[in-house]
Structure 1
C-alpha cells in the first residue's frame, strides 16, 4: 500500500469514529500516532548504530510503551499477534490512562527543552486521544505500522503528503487557515532573504512550521554536505515559537518529517514576553513569518510592547524588529491595511519600522492568495540597522482570480524574484522615496504611478455629438447608394 492510500484509509476511519469530527481532529490524531511510529524507527536506528559500535543502547521509552509492544506486537511470521494485541475498549483505556500520562511525564524529567524527551512530554501534555473506538484505533495503528520512516525518500514523500494534509486543513475552515501559508510565497520570501549556513532563522508565530521546513530544504540543497554543516543545520539554525496546542504538534511533526530530529520549537505565547527583555543572545540573523492578523490582545499583553495596540500582527512586528540582529534580514507577511491605517499605533509603528530598518521591498499580493481568509496581504522585506530611503513596490498580478481551485504557484512568483534583484520600474513595480511620504500619516499604501493611462471618460455631450456625426455619415452613404441605383 502506498503512503497516500494509507493516509486516505486513516482519514476514512477517523470519519467513522464519533470522537474526531473535523479536519483539525483528523490531522491531530494522525500526528500523535505517526509521531510514536517515527519515534520507534528513530530508536531502532540508534540501537542498530550502537550495536555496530559494540555498545548498548538505552531506549527512551520503557518496554511496555514501545510501539512493538503495545501498538503492534507481532508473531514469528511478522504478523500482528492477535493473542496479545489490545483491541477494543482495552486499547483505548491503555492509551488514555497509561500511555498518554506516561509520555506527558517526560516534560518534567527531560534535561532541557531541546531534547527529544522534552518534545515527547510537550506533545502528550497538550494532545488528547479523541479516537473513541478501540477497533478503529487498532486499524489506524496497523496502517501507520506500514509507513516506512527510515529512507530519506520515504520521509520526503511522507512530508509532502503531510503538507497536503495541512493545506487541506487550512482550506477546511477559518481556524485551520492560520496554520497554512502558501508554499510558493514562502519559497519566494526565502529566496529573496537567501539564508546561509551559520545564520539562525526564527519564526515566532510558527504554525505548521512552513517557513522553517522550507528554509531547511533551501539551505540543505545549497550547503556543502559536511557533517559539521548538517549538525549546524539540524541543531543550531531553525528556531520557532507557537502558542496553539495543535499547531505546535503539527509543527513538530512537520519538521521531523523534513529530517529535523529534535526541532527547536517552543510551546509558548510569544506575545506574553516583554520585548524589553530581549537581549543580543536572543536575536537572529533571519526572521521569516506570517503572524496571525485580526486577533485582539488583552491590555496586560499590550504592556509588553512600546507601541500599545490590540492588533496581534502589529505586536508581532514589534517583536520581530527587536528580535533581529543589527544587519539581520526579515520578510514578514502582514495585512495590507497596516500600510495605511490612520490610528496612532499604526502610524507610530510605520515610523519605527522606517527609522530602525531599511524597508527595501514591499510585495503586494492579490486577493485570494490565502484561501478562505478573504484578506489582502503584503510582504515587508527589511534589513535592520539603517533607516529607509527608498522602497521598491511590486504588485503581483497572476492574471486570474485566485482561490481554492486556483492557488498561488511558483510560476506566479517568478517575475517578482527576477525583478527584485535589480528593482526596476515597470508597469507592475516602482520606487518610492521616503522623503516624499506624508510626514503626518506616513501612508505606505501602494499607488502605482506606472500604470498606463486610461483614456478619460467622455461627457454625454461628446457622446451624443459623435452619434449625430455617425448618423449623418450613414445618411450620406445611403443617399450615394440610392443615386447609384
Structure 2
C-alpha cells in the first residue's frame, strides 16, 4: 500500500470517530473540501512561480490570511512549519465563521463563470464543514499538508485514490449510488466514442464526473499531450467539458473529481437538466460528443414533462429526448439506458424510438449483464450508441458475457468488454448477420426492416433458451403440487418451532 493511500486511510479512520460524520458519503465530502484547498494552494504556488520566471506578478485568488499556508498549516517564508497553529474551538470558529462564508461568496463576487474564483464559489455554495471536533480537523490538516500537489506523480496517484473514495461512497448505498458508474464501462464507452481536440463533450447527469474525467485522461496521455499546441491545450481546458448535475453532493463531488484530475475549468453547472425546454435548443447549444448514464426509474411532474415533445413521467425517456436534441450534426453519443427503454412499446416509448431510428443512426447496442450497478440497482441495462448522421439502417449488437455472475464483490471488469471494443474498432471482424452460429459468438447484426413495433432490445440468436409451454390442465396440476410442497415445508417449520 502506498504512502498516500495510508494517509487517506488514516484520515477516514479519524473521521469515522467524529460525532459530525455519518457514513462514507460524509467522510468523502469532508475529505474533498480539505483536499481541494490544499490543491488550490499548491496550484497557486505553481502559478506564482511561473509568473515570477517571466517577470510578472501572479494575482492570488485567495486573500492572504485565508491561504492554506497561513491558516491550515502556517509556514514562514522559507516554507518551514510554524508551531503556532490553531486547534480546538478556535480552529472551528475560524473555519465556520470566516473561511466558509468567504469561499461561498466567490460565486456572487465573480462575473466570469469560467474563472477559477467562480468555480470555487460554486463548489462551496453547497458545502459545509460537518466535522464536529477542532482537534479532529487539526489532525486531518496536518496529514493532508504532507501531500505534494506540485508533484505530477503524486497528484495522479491521489486522483486514483479519490476515485476509490467515490466508489466506496456509491457502495454505501442510498442516492450516492447514482454518482458512480463502473470504470470498466466508462473506459469502454470513451474509447469507442474516441473524443478528440475540438469536440465538446457533454454529460447531462454528471454525478461524480466519471465520463468527463475518463475523456480528459483519454485525450491527454503523454503521447497525445506532447503533440498539442498551446491553443489546443487551452481549448481542452476551457471549451471541451460540459455538463449539469441536479444534486448538491453529486455536483460537489464531480467538480472536485475533475479539478483533482487536472481539468482546471470544467463547464459544469448545478441544475436539473430536465427543466430545460428542449424545443429552445439551437445548433450553437449542442455538443459533438455525449457520454452519460442518466438516472432511471424516477418520475417527473407534469410541469417537467411539458418541456418535451413526447410527454412521459419516466426520467429515462425524458433524458433520451434531451440527449437527442443536444447532439450536433454528425455528433456521436453513447448512453446507458435501462432494458425497458429498448423493449417497451407503449405510446411514449414507441414514439421516441421511432424518432430515434428515423432521425439518428442507432448503429450499436451493447447488452450489459445483470448486476452491473449492484448494490444500488439490479436493473438490466444497455449501452446505446447513435450518431446524428442519417437514419438507422442496421443495428450491431454485442452481448457482454462475464464468466461469473456479477455481485457487489465480483464487479464487471474491462476484460469482459475488451472484445466489444476491439470489434467496434474493427468492423470487418463483426458478425454481419442475425443467424445462429455453432461457434461461440457474442455479436450479431439486425436490419431495421426486421424490427417490429420499435422493439430494439437485444435478442441474442446464439442463446436459444428452450421454454416448455404447458397446457392449462398441466399448469394447474403443477401449481397444486407446488402448493402441497410449500404447505409441507411450513408444517415442518412449525413443528421445529413448537418442538
TM-score under structure 1 length normalisation: 0.90
CA contact (8 A) 1:285 1:325 kept: yes
- Whole-Å separation in 2 of the counterparts to 1:68 and 1:347: 59
Moved more, 21-30 or 401-410: 401-410
Report if the CA contact (8 A) 2:345-2:454 is conserved: no
Unpaired runs of 5+ in structure 1?
458-485
Q: 2:444 aligns with which of 430, 447, 453?
A: 430
Residues 428 and 451 of structure 1 are in contact (CA less than 8 Å); yes or no, is this contact kept in structure 2? no
Q: Secondary structure at the match of 2:334?
A: strand
| CA 81–453 in structure 1, closer or farther in 2 if over 3 Å, else same | closer
Q: Give the secondary-structure state (helix, strand or coil) at the position aligned to 2:412.
A: coil
- Which residue of structure 2 aligns with residue 3 of structure 1? 4
- Structure 1 residue 174 displacement after superposition: 3.1
d(CA) in 2 for partners of 1:80 and 1:307?
62
Aligned-partner SS, 1:241: strand
Q: Secondary structure at the match of 1:329?
A: strand
Superposed displacement of residue 79, structure 1 = 5.8
Which residue does the alignment assign to 1:466?
Answer: none
Contact conserved, 1:203 with 1:288, CA < 8 A, in 2? yes
- 2:202 partner SS: strand
- How far apart, in 1, do the equivalents of 2:465 and 2:99 lie? 68
2-side partners of 1:90 and 1:301: how far apart? Answer: 47
Please point out which of 371, 375, 378 is paired with 1:374: 378
1:115 is displaced (CA, Å) by 1.0
What is the number of equivalent residue pairs in this alignment?
A: 456
Give CA deviations for 1:50-100 in whole Å, capped at 9, x if unaligned. 2112222221111121111111113688664343x2111121111111111
In the alignment, is the contact (CA less than 8 A) between 2:202 and 2:291 conserved in 1?
yes
Distance 2:75 2:229 in 1: 39
Could you say if the C-alpha distance between residues 49 and 452 of structure 1 is closer, same or farther in structure 2, counting changes exceeding 3 Å? same
Listed as ranges, the gaps of 5+ residues in structure 2 are: 470-499
Q: Shift of the alpha carbon at 1:260?
A: 1.2
Is 2:280 the partner of 1:268?
no
Q: Who is 1:329 aligned against?
A: 332
Give the superposition deviation at 1:456.
Answer: 8.9
Q: Deviations over 1:270-319 (max 9, x none)?
A: 11111112111111111000001111111111111111111112111111
- The residue number in structure 2 matching 1:226 is 229
Question: Residue 481 of structure 1 corresponds to which residue in structure 2?
Answer: none
CA apart distance, 1:225? 3.3
Preserved contact between residue 350 and residue 442 of structure 1 (Cα < 8 Å): yes
Secondary structure of the residue that 1:393 maps to in structure 2?
strand
**8 Å Cα contact 1:203/1:212 also seen in 2:** yes
Could you list the per-position Cα deviations for residues 214-246 of structure 1 after superposition, in whole angstroms to 9, with x for gaps in the alignment?
111111226323323222211211111111111
Which of the pair has more CA radius of gyration? 1
Residue by residue over 1:168-191, the C-alpha shift from the partner in whole angstroms, topping out at 9 and shown as x without a partner, is 111111322101111111111111
Residue pairs, 1:320-399, within 5 angstroms: 320-372=323-375, 373-399=377-403
* Higher mean C-alpha deviation, range 250-259 or range 315-324: 250-259
Change (3 A) 1:78 1:195: closer
TM-score (norm 2): 0.88
More displaced, 159-168 or 258-267? Answer: 258-267
Q: Aligned to 1:126, what secondary structure does the other structure show? A: coil
- Give the alignment's Cα RMSD to 1 decimal: 2.0
Q: Which residue of 1 aligns with 2:49?
A: 48
Counterpart Cα distance in 2 of 1:305 and 1:401: 38
Structure 2 matches for 1:167-186, cutoff 5 A? 167-186=167-186
1:322, 1:44 → 2: CA distance? 43
